[in-house]
A and B are shown apart, each in its own frame.
Chain A
Amino acid sequence: MGPDAPVDAVAREAALVRRAQAGDAEAYGDLVTMHQAAAFRVARLLAGSAAEAEDAAQEAFVKAYLALGRFRAGAPFRPWLLQVVGNEARNRRRALGRRTGLLDRAVIAFRGSAGAGGPSPETAVLLGELRDEVRAALLRLRDEERTIVACRYLLDLSEAETASALGVPPGTVKSRLHRAMGRLRSELGEAGPATEAVP
């Protein structure tokens, strides 16, 4: 549930959280239903493939259930959940990263495409859905900037949720986003040269 959720929806979510904390698996199932799309998309963005994202999101939901005792009553559930999802997805990505030298070489050989410094094949697939000029501009961003823009505008996460999902301080989200928007403004030809934010 996002930051602008109606009051009754917030109350319903809080009630589901309380029931789930008491061990009601069906109530937790309702929470999963409410947030599985956002969780899966965040995992898709961070973990890589759709299959890896599905595993990461599922594992994150289970870990979040086990950790519900730590969840502070009355706090918004989605940012907390997305933090768990982000951690799980990044951990999986890192685990894969230990093999990426081999994997990347093989994939590049197989697909016949280089890509040093470019987006991963999975990100390229995602970006492939965007309009050409926007995609081209995003592809020229640094990976960390592209990820933040994707969280904010493709996933429609708040800055706080973006920070939770990516495991970075909110100030870092702000500064990277500012930089990225400056670059995009320049790339999309709407204004003059990009401005640099003070980190």
Chain B
Amino acid sequence: MAGDERQVETQLRAAAAAVAWPPTPDLRSAVVARIARDGLVPGPAASPVPSGVARPRPAMLRLARPLAVALLALLVLAGVAAALGFRLPGLEILRTDQVPPAGAGLDLGSPVPLADALARDQPRVRIPAALPPPDTAYELGAGDRRIVTLAYRATAGQATLAGSDLALTVMAVPGSLDERLITKLVGPGGTIEPVSVDGSPGWWIAGAPHEILVLRPDGEVGVVTSALAGDTLLFARDGTLYRLESALGREATIAIAESMD
């Protein structure tokens, strides 16, 4: 039996030698750059690494950390309030010189300068000429999975996307669409309507949260989710899929898309 097993091993190793693995990407550059960019330093305190089997902790210990964080936050707020002349619990006013980036907290990626978002070919980011510059540009992922999202804050009186301060996001994803995939993705209550965007086919999806399957440049099928659940205009141009999630209505959104260049 041992001899038989060795024969199987030999067959496996011979077969494995013929496997053409995909080329290993240059992880070193990306990792070292990220360490430098984010100022990362080794240390157990910063580590989110799962350590295998988690040891059960008593309930008191599990509660201790959130309680400590809450207490610390209260003390900090009290200090801020005292410094500003307000007293607890009268913390109705918090003065700040900085407004958070539009769409902050929506898991759209990391904010990047608009010029950086425009600098790369994949995906090709197009700016709607019909709008002022976006409030914030976000980048998520890398390589042919890099997704850029432009976030537009709602102006006074404008409708917002649920759960946000945004009226519109313009997402650019490397890849293209297939109508057979699109129709699989809208849940009950949602509608898909074919539309024209400057002569190109597009789809207006309304009424239900959905995900999008995109055909990536490498031929694989990827899922694009959204932190929001608004009505969406989809269209593709020159190898980039555009997804406009909008609180502005179908016609206005199509007009915005047609002004993208």
Contacts and interface: CB of A to CB of B under 8 A. Distances in A.
B50 A87 contact: yes
Interface of B: 1, 4-5, 7-9, 11-16, 18-22, 24-25, 27-28, 30-32, 34-36, 40-44, 46-52, 141-145, 178, 180-181, 184-185, 211, 213, 216, 218, 220-223, 225
A62 interface: yes
B161 to A, nearest CB: 21
Interface in A7-31: 20-23, 25-26, 28-29
B22 A58 contact: no
Given A54-B25, A153-B16, A110 B8 contact: no
Chain A at the B interface: mostly helix, strand, loop or mixed? helix
Interface residues of A, number: 65
Given A55-B142, A83-B52, A68 B223 contact: no
Interface in A111-148: 122, 126, 129-131, 134-135
Given A83-B52, A87-B49, 10 more contacts: A41-B21, A50-B218, A50-B220, A58-B30, A58-B31, A70-B49, A110-B181, A129-B18, A153-B9, A190-B7
Contacts of B46: 66
Contacts of A126: 19
Contact of A68 (B42, B51, B221): B42
A23 B47 contact: no
A74 B42 CA distance: 17
B31 A28 contact: yes
Contacts of A58: 27, 30-31, 34, 142
Q: Which of A84, A106, A149, A167 has the most CB of B within 10 A?
A: A106
